[in-house]
Chain A
Amino acid sequence: MTDTAPIVSIQNVSKLFGSASAAGQTHALSRVSLDVAPGEFVSLLGPSGCGKSTLLRLVADLIEPSDGQILIRNKSPRQARLDREYGIVFQSPVLYDWRDVLHNVELPLEVMRFPPAERDRRAREMLQLVGLKDFERHYPWQLSGGMQQRVSIARALSFKPAILLMDEPFGALDEMTRERMNAELLNIWSQTDTTVIFVTHSIAEAVFLSSRVVVMTPRPGRIEKIVTIDLPQPRNLETREQPHYFELITAVREGLREV
């Protein structure tokens, strides 16, 4: 993994919010560097205000860094966005109420001018992947929160982006649904060769899902420590019972304490 070129390379990135002259400036990120290898599942973990979502939004080119550089497949984030290199999943599913499930998944394909037959085929394939094959004609309000978020994941993957950016996607779900969604996400990840950058504030979730956990601390937001998660794949319910799983959780938690 170390000798492959990184798919996402973050170099000395800082982000300040607020006007330059004002005293009330927030230092959201301070000189953050991180390389993500192709096919990796990297979690950004930390308390609120540590800049983990900011970092994800910088990669997504939804905001611009104040300093430093980000390269995605050797391109600027803007070019990567224009080339549709990533799919994004937000904390809320952000489904369009007036579209049924199938057409919500087809939305990016429409924007990207896929032919109708291809749109239909891909959307159905993705819904099959997230286990919502029988819900194509349902409207968002007819689905539970977990199902809505699955639609949102199917939509993000529909155009087969190289990178999947996830901003606390399961933060609003209850613990049981969340654990089930974690297992399903890993299953989906293993079936695609997508690189995932996953923002969360749940230690257990980060350890269970990731190949590496990036521990971040606030004020200013920076990377405290990176923990490699060497739990074997595939991971399942038993993974959560292994002693090594708990050792890793402890290691990550200590990283969060060293502030």
Chain B
Amino acid sequence: MAESRTLELEAGEAEVAARRQAQGGPSLARRGLALLALLVGVALVWELTKILFSITDYNLPHVYAIPWAFIKPLSSTGQPMGVYLLWQTQYTIYEALAGFALGALAGFLLGVVFAHSALLERGCLPYVVASQTVPILAIAPMVVIWLGRGFLPIALIASYLTFFPVVINTLRGLLSVEPTALELMQSYAATRGEILWKLRVPASLPYLFTALKISSTASIIGALIAEMTGAQRGLGWNLVYFAQYYNSDPPNLWAAIVLSGLLGLLAYGGILLIERRALGWQARAG
């Protein structure tokens, strides 16, 4: 018996080692190389399209014109446009972050409430869903009319886009618990609160992070759109400005668009990092 147990332990450890090896994936250098190849590929297709269909610089500027738009000095202050844009983006980041935090918290709490009351879920969830079919472009000006221009209305509009995926996924996650896992808690005479914190919430985390990844980029879209109608600063407002003055300098708009994309990537990557830390047990299992 002693021998067979040793064998089992060894088999277990071998399995662990094999899985550890499998989860390593491609090295950082290889992934960097792949990214570089992708960027070069996109630039090639871009320039080839320009030549093949004889597209003017006005309709589609050269690829190199976009990084140049970041570097070239502004006529008003003389600082590079990239510095100015980053300074402006700062506002957008704060608004999106505040909206994200608010929306995620509200969404999570609502998910918890719905998970505990089938009556409330059936009564209220349809309205939560309906709220999301109203286009944000219709809502944003109204919120600005109600609350005036500034930080708060923009953060609120960002939170409006954040909270929906969080409600739905939190609810799904909290209810994803196996019946026997619940019975185990019942056998310990655990309270509802203990079942929530020790079982339902940890079990819902993978679902929650899926929602947060969607929401993180959605909150940026919310902030950008809100800035377009209710601010005179921020990346969203600059997007509108550059669009209005597109005739005079097309690459400016492209630069702002690239920056918006990078902002989304940053938000997504941030959540991914937190997820890896929080769900370490799962990343290794996957």
- Asked if B184 is at the interface of the complex by the 8 Å CB criterion, the answer is yes
CB distance from A107 to the nearest CB of B (A): 7
Centre residue among B8, B9, B11, B187 by max chain A CB count within 10 A? B187
B8–A111 CB distance below 8 A: no
- By secondary structure, the B interface counts as helix
Quick check: is A21 within 8 A (CB to CB) of the other chain? no
The count of A-to-B residue pairs whose CB atoms sit within 8 angstroms is: 77
Interface residues of A in 89-108 (CB under 8 A from B): 90, 92, 94, 96-100, 107-108
Whether the Cβ atoms of B183 and A62 lie closer than 8 Å is yes
The residues in B between 107 and 128 inclusive whose CB is less than 8 angstroms from any CB of A are none
B146 CB-CB contact with A under 8 Å:
no
- What A residues does B188 contact at CB under 8 A? 84, 107-108, 111-112
Contact of A142 (CB < 8 Å), options: B12, B180, B181, B184? B12
With the chains together, A146 CA to B15 CA distance in Å?
15
Which of B72-80, B152-160, B277-285 makes up part of the contact surface?
A: B277-285
A81 and B199 CA atoms in complex are apart in Å by 19
* In the complex, A42 has a CB within 8 A of chain B: no
Whether, in the assembled complex, A251 has its beta carbon less than 8 Å from a beta carbon of chain B, the answer is: no
Q: Does A170 contact B (CB under 8 A)?
A: no
Give residues 169-206 of B contacting A (CB, 8 Å): 178, 180-181, 183-190, 194, 198-199, 202-203, 205
Contact of B199 among A82, A92, A96 (CB under 8 A): A96
With A and B bound together, what is the CA distance between A185 and B103 in angstroms? 51
In the bound assembly, the distance between CA atoms of A55 and B184 in angstroms comes to 17
CB-CB contacts below 8 Å: A127-145 with B: 131, 134-135, 138-139, 141-144
**In the bound complex, CA of A81 to CA of B184 (Å):** 11
CA distance A170 to B285 in the complex (A): 24
Determine whether B21 belongs to the interface, using a CB cutoff of 8 Å to chain A.
no
Distance in Å from the Cβ of B256 to the closest Cβ of chain A? 42
A183 touches B1 (CB 8 A): yes
A90-B184, A131-B5 given; A111·B281 CB < 8 A: no
What string of 1s and 0s marks CB contacts (under 8 Å) between B205-216 and chain A? 100000000000
A111 touches B12 (CB 8 A): no
Name the residue on A nearest B181 (C-beta).
A94
Cβ of A139 and Cβ of B198 under 8 Å apart?
no
Contact in complex: A111, B190 (CB < 8 Å): yes
Residues on B with C-beta less than 8 A from A142 are 12, 15-16, 19
Q: How far is the CA of A185 from the CA of B11 in the complex (A)?
A: 22
Query: Does B4 sit within 8 A of A, measured CB to CB?
Result: yes
- State the Cβ distance, B248 to closest chain A Cβ, in Å: 56
**A249 is an interface residue with CB less than 8 A from chain B:** no
Assuming A86-B187, A111-B198, A131-B5, is B12 touching A143 (CB within 8 A)? Answer: yes
| B residues less than 8 Å from A183 (CB atoms) | 1
Q: Assess whether A87 is interfacial by the CB under 8 Å rule.
A: yes
Shortest beta-carbon distance from A192 to chain B in Å: 18
Choose from B4, B185, B194, B281 the contact partner of A97 (Cβ within 8 Å). B281
Q: Does A60 reach chain B (CB closer than 8 Å)?
A: yes
Contact status A146-B8, CB under 8 Å = yes
Q: Does A254 belong to the interface (CB within 8 Å)?
A: no
Decide: A92 near B1, CB < 8 A? Known: A107-B198, A111-B188: no
Q: How far is the CA of A139 from the CA of B285 in the complex (A)?
A: 9
Q: Are A84 and B184 touching (Cβ within 8 A)? A: no
Q: Could you tell me the distance between the alpha carbons of A60 and B19 in the complex, rounded to whole angstroms? A: 38
Q: Top 7 closest A-B pairs, CB basis? A: A141-B285, A111-B188, A98-B202, A88-B187, A82-B189, A111-B190, A94-B180
7 more A-B residue pairs beyond the given contacts A84-B189, A98-B279, A180-B5, with a C-beta to C-beta distance below 8 A: A81-B186, A88-B183, A98-B205, A110-B198, A111-B188, A142-B19, A144-B15
Of the A-B pairs whose beta carbons lie under 8 Å apart in the complex, a sample of 11, sorted by A's number, is A88-B183, A94-B178, A96-B203, A97-B281, A97-B285, A98-B281, A111-B189, A139-B284, A142-B19, A143-B12, A180-B1
> Contact residues of B with A, CB < 8 Å?
1, 4-5, 8-9, 11-12, 15-16, 19, 178, 180-181, 183-190, 194, 198-199, 202-203, 205, 279, 281-282, 284-285
